[in-house]
A and B are shown apart, each in its own frame.
Chain A
Amino acid sequence: MSVSATDNWPKVEAQSKSCLPERLVKLIESHRGDENPQGALIEVLHAVQGHFGFLGKEELDAVAQLMQVPAAKVTGVATFYHFFRLRPRGKYIINVCMGTACYVKGASAVAQRVQQELGIEFGETSPDGIFSLVSSRCIGTCGLAPVVMIGEEVFPKVQPDQIPAMLAKYKKLAAEPPPGD
């Protein structure tokens, strides 16, 4: 049967391919003909997140179309596993240690202040895209409790009132052009 003029597959396929780098399209195509077409889904999602840093709506839809796995299944997997992120992460990760030592030394108040300053909860990214807020159970420097990390920098014995200055430093850094430009 000849390709019908009413078919939108050529358009949908081209659109889907344009969302992903060629390497990922090739990866998906290498699984075409697999006995279970859904079997490679997690591998493909890992690769997509590896490339983009997160799984965006367009990319998830492109994966669904190119793998011919229903989109509800693709997003079901992407939202089930903790490892997958649906939104881009901020430039700097703020990691508030909530381990036992930090907790008893007042990490909750510190965390609350960060949330208040940025207007976001744990797991979220500030609207300006600069910070993502996460917590961890212990980063192994209990002697410095309560501890906050921003990017690679460790801030020891943090008091809530220090938070605005810490954030301002990284906001300023984020606004500067990258070195070498």
Chain B
Amino acid sequence: MSDEQVKMINLTIDGVRVSVPEGTTIMQAAETIGIYIPRLCYHPNLSLMGSCRVCIVDVKEMGYYMTSCSVHVWEGMEVETNSPEIRLARRDIVELLLDNHSMDCQTCERDSNCELQNLAYSMGVRERLFEGKRKCFEIEDHGSAVVRNSNKCILCGRCYRVCSEVQGVHNLGQQGRGFNTIVSPAHVADMDESVCIQCGQCVNVCPVAAFLEKGETEQVFAALGDPGKHVVIQTAPSIRAAIGEGFGMPPGTPAEGKMITALRRLGFDKVFDTDLGADMTIVEESAELLRRLDGKGPLPMFTSCSPGWISFLEKFYPALIPNASTCRSPMSMLSALTKTYYAQKAGIDPRNIFMVAAMPCTAKKYERRRPEHVMDGSPLTDAVVTTRELIWMIKSYGIDFANLPDGKFDAPLGISTGAGDIFGITGGVMEATLRTACERLTNAPCDKLDYTEVRGVQGAREATVKIGEHRLNIGVANGLVNAKILLDKVLSGEKQFHIIEIMACPGGCSGGGGQPYPPRGWRILDPRLLELRGNALYSIDKAKTLRRSHENPAVKTIYAEFLGDINGPMAHKLLHTSYTAKEPRGIK
């Protein structure tokens, strides 16, 4: 549409004349002149709700205050965002939100990172005028990944909107009425008994601490303090691109070296790289793809790294389970290798190894508890901490992260290629697969390294990639509502794909449910933030000499010394898994 066709609307906001396209909301119009209207339930990635009333403004000629998030501008409109009356009304609204709130900031995980707390402060709430009845609901912390505390909930509805509109899971909803309203799964069921896929996006978008990851830092500290334990940590690709945000570094700053040093100072005996697990995944997965392309197994093949996606597959699309790669995730592969290959090499009883995984993900907490990832009675991974938890651990040790010298990952599970790094952003697994599959399919070296057609953080992408005489139809999706678009095409037979990468979270692991709450001035799920984190990973990849997983010398050694053949019996036992339909069955 050309500029002439857009009708411009002229209005004044706080006395400033502004001209914006028709259909702009008051809130958006105010932002164009640098006025940030306070808000709570509003989120640009989600549908409008207008329930919190925090963003009210005074519109001359109207007899009542209007919510600026939902009202479109009109010609000649006169808006006041900060008159004494509107400031008082807005503060009253926030005070009423607080009247039955727990107000236990000092012992709350969100302290200093809470939108309600920030809002109350900036509205000038300095005393508790309305002392209401406190909520007294049972805290649901029986699950493996997500904890629900409805006492802190302010019913803004962001969690159930993200669950339905971004993830298509529809697990959360308002239950009951009036004062007894809570947000929970059907029947107020425990998360693990519901259709929850443990992605943690409810935790991400919650402005307070009504949803949190299940904390595992205490187990990790206990293991670190146990002289009988050999405590090993592995770190996921995307963490190095996000962890710096927790220490005041600008978003998109790679912080791999400082992170490794911080982990050493926390006392971990070995710091391994999940990127190596990612390289192993590519080697196994591309061999599996070749077998499937050879007619041995259904097409398309789905990637299997994202445990939220795997849970979604089992609950919502069980008919397509045979299409999922049987590869364990990079985390579980690396844990399996640590407790077998590394234990043997280092002469350590695997029962004395405590394997910690630092992940951008809440669903990894669920994955580690799955019976498929338990070997000889003990879990492959003993604890999973999110990026947020790791940041907190480092802070609680008083480590000056930003000024740490760079460290390096430990042998023998610390070498990785650029292909492993880009696992942390949507499209990365596909790109890494293509780099290896290209050489395997053509039996010749391939020059192409950057498959830009699969990059970007848009929801669902389709492309056809030419490799030798092969034309591979590929699909990439992040956010499960987008995955549904591709999955429904597979189910209906509308399009013949060869390989589809699916990441449960928006932006892939960069937008995982365990990533840092964004720094001030940024909002969660902001595509620009996810892109910055992704760019950090692409820059790490670009700087590496080795950018194809199968060229990783550590990978070659592991096969030569320990595993034998790619996709061989030993590799199958340690690096592959299986899936089954799960109930309750999800409703799309």
Chain B associates with chain A: yes
Q: Which residues of A contact B (CB under 8 A)?
A: 1, 3-9, 12, 57, 60-61, 64-65, 68-76, 79-80
Complex-state Cα separation, A57 to B184, whole angstroms = 15
Q: Are A71 and B318 touching (Cβ within 8 A)? A: no
Complex-state Cα separation, A73 to B172, whole angstroms = 8
Q: Are A6 and B321 touching (Cβ within 8 A)? A: yes
A-B contact pairs, 20 of them (CB 8 A): A1-B492, A1-B493, A4-B318, A6-B318, A6-B320, A6-B322, A6-B581, A8-B583, A12-B583, A64-B186, A70-B170, A70-B186, A71-B187, A71-B584, A72-B175, A72-B185, A73-B173, A75-B187, A76-B174, A80-B174
Closest CB-CB distance, B171 to chain A, in whole Å?
6
With contacts A7-B318, A12-B585, A71-B587 known, is A60 near B187, CB below 8 A?
yes
Complex-state Cα separation, A71 to B186, whole angstroms = 5
Q: Are B581 and A8 touching (Cβ within 8 A)? A: yes
Output the nearest chain A residue to B323 by Cβ-Cβ distance. Answer: A4
Q: Are A72 and B319 touching (Cβ within 8 A)? A: no
Q: Is B48 an interface residue (CB 8 A)?
A: no
The one of A68, A75, A80 that contacts B186, using a Cβ cutoff of 8 Å: A75
Number of B positions contacting A (CB below 8 A): 32
The A interface, classified by DSSP as helix, strand, loop or mixed, is helix
With contacts A75-B175, A79-B176, A80-B177 known, is A70 near B587, CB below 8 A?
yes
B550-588 vs A, Cβ < 8 Å mask (1 yes, 0 no): 000000000000000000000000000001110111011
Complex-state Cα separation, A35 to B260, whole angstroms = 55
Question: What are the residues of chain A within 8 A of B322 when measuring CB–CB?
Answer: 4-6
The 6 closest A-B pairs by CB, nearest first: A72-B173, A70-B170, A71-B186, A7-B319, A8-B581, A4-B319
Q: Which residues of B contact A (CB under 8 A)?
A: 160, 164, 170-177, 184-187, 195, 318-322, 490-493, 579-581, 583-585, 587-588
With contacts A1-B491, A80-B176 known, is A61 near B584, CB below 8 A?
yes
Q: Are A68 and B583 touching (Cβ within 8 A)? A: no
The one of A6, A71, A76 that contacts B580, using a Cβ cutoff of 8 Å: A6
Other contacts beyond A4-B319, A68-B588, A72-B175: 4, CB < 8 A: A6-B321, A73-B170, A75-B186, A79-B176
Complex-state Cα separation, A79 to B320, whole angstroms = 34
Output the nearest chain A residue to B160 by Cβ-Cβ distance. Answer: A72
Complex-state Cα separation, A9 to B581, whole angstroms = 10
With contacts A7-B319, A79-B175 known, is A72 near B581, CB below 8 A?
no
Complex-state Cα separation, A7 to B493, whole angstroms = 17
Question: What are the residues of chain B within 8 A of A74 when measuring CB–CB?
Answer: 186
Output the nearest chain B residue to A3 by Cβ-Cβ distance. Answer: B319
Q: Are B587 and A64 touching (Cβ within 8 A)? A: yes
Complex-state Cα separation, A176 to B20, whole angstroms = 77
Q: Are B186 and A65 touching (Cβ within 8 A)? A: no
Complex-state Cα separation, A166 to B403, whole angstroms = 79
Output the nearest chain B residue to A64 by Cβ-Cβ distance. Answer: B587
Name which of B185, B187, B490, B492 has the most chain A CB atoms within 10 A of its CB: B187
Question: What are the residues of chain B within 8 A of A7 when measuring CB–CB?
Answer: 318-319, 581
Complex-state Cα separation, A12 to B583, whole angstroms = 9
Q: Are A8 and B173 touching (Cβ within 8 A)? A: no
Output the nearest chain A residue to B313 by Cβ-Cβ distance. Answer: A6
Complex-state Cα separation, A1 to B490, whole angstroms = 9
Q: Are B318 and A72 touching (Cβ within 8 A)? A: no
Q: Are B175 and A76 touching (Cβ within 8 A)? A: yes
Complex-state Cα separation, A138 to B176, whole angstroms = 26
Closest CB-CB distance, A175 to chain B, in whole Å?
32
Name which of B172, B319, B490, B492 has the most chain A CB atoms within 10 A of its CB: B319
Closest CB-CB distance, A70 to chain B, in whole Å?
3
Closest CB-CB distance, A90 to chain B, in whole Å?
22
Output the nearest chain B residue to A86 by Cβ-Cβ distance. Answer: B187
Complex-state Cα separation, A12 to B315, whole angstroms = 12
Question: What are the residues of chain A within 8 A of B581 when measuring CB–CB?
Answer: 6-8
Q: Are A9 and B585 touching (Cβ within 8 A)? A: yes
Output the nearest chain B residue to A77 by Cβ-Cβ distance. Answer: B173
Closest CB-CB distance, B491 to chain A, in whole Å?
6
Closest CB-CB distance, A157 to chain B, in whole Å?
35
Q: Are A60 and B186 touching (Cβ within 8 A)? A: yes
Q: Are B321 and A72 touching (Cβ within 8 A)? A: no
Complex-state Cα separation, A110 to B173, whole angstroms = 39
Q: Are B587 and A69 touching (Cβ within 8 A)? A: yes
Q: Are B318 and A76 touching (Cβ within 8 A)? A: no
Output the nearest chain B residue to A68 by Cβ-Cβ distance. Answer: B587
Name which of B176, B320, B580, B585 has the most chain A CB atoms within 10 A of its CB: B585
Question: What are the residues of chain B within 8 A of A80 when measuring CB–CB?
Answer: 174, 176-177
Closest CB-CB distance, A19 to chain B, in whole Å?
13
Complex-state Cα separation, A65 to B315, whole angstroms = 13
Output the nearest chain B residue to A80 by Cβ-Cβ distance. Answer: B177
Question: What are the residues of chain A within 8 A of B493 when measuring CB–CB?
Answer: 1
The one of B170, B490, B492 that contacts A72, using a Cβ cutoff of 8 Å: B170
Complex-state Cα separation, A3 to B322, whole angstroms = 12
Question: What are the residues of chain A within 8 A of B164 when measuring CB–CB?
Answer: 70
Question: What are the residues of chain A within 8 A of B320 when measuring CB–CB?
Answer: 4, 6
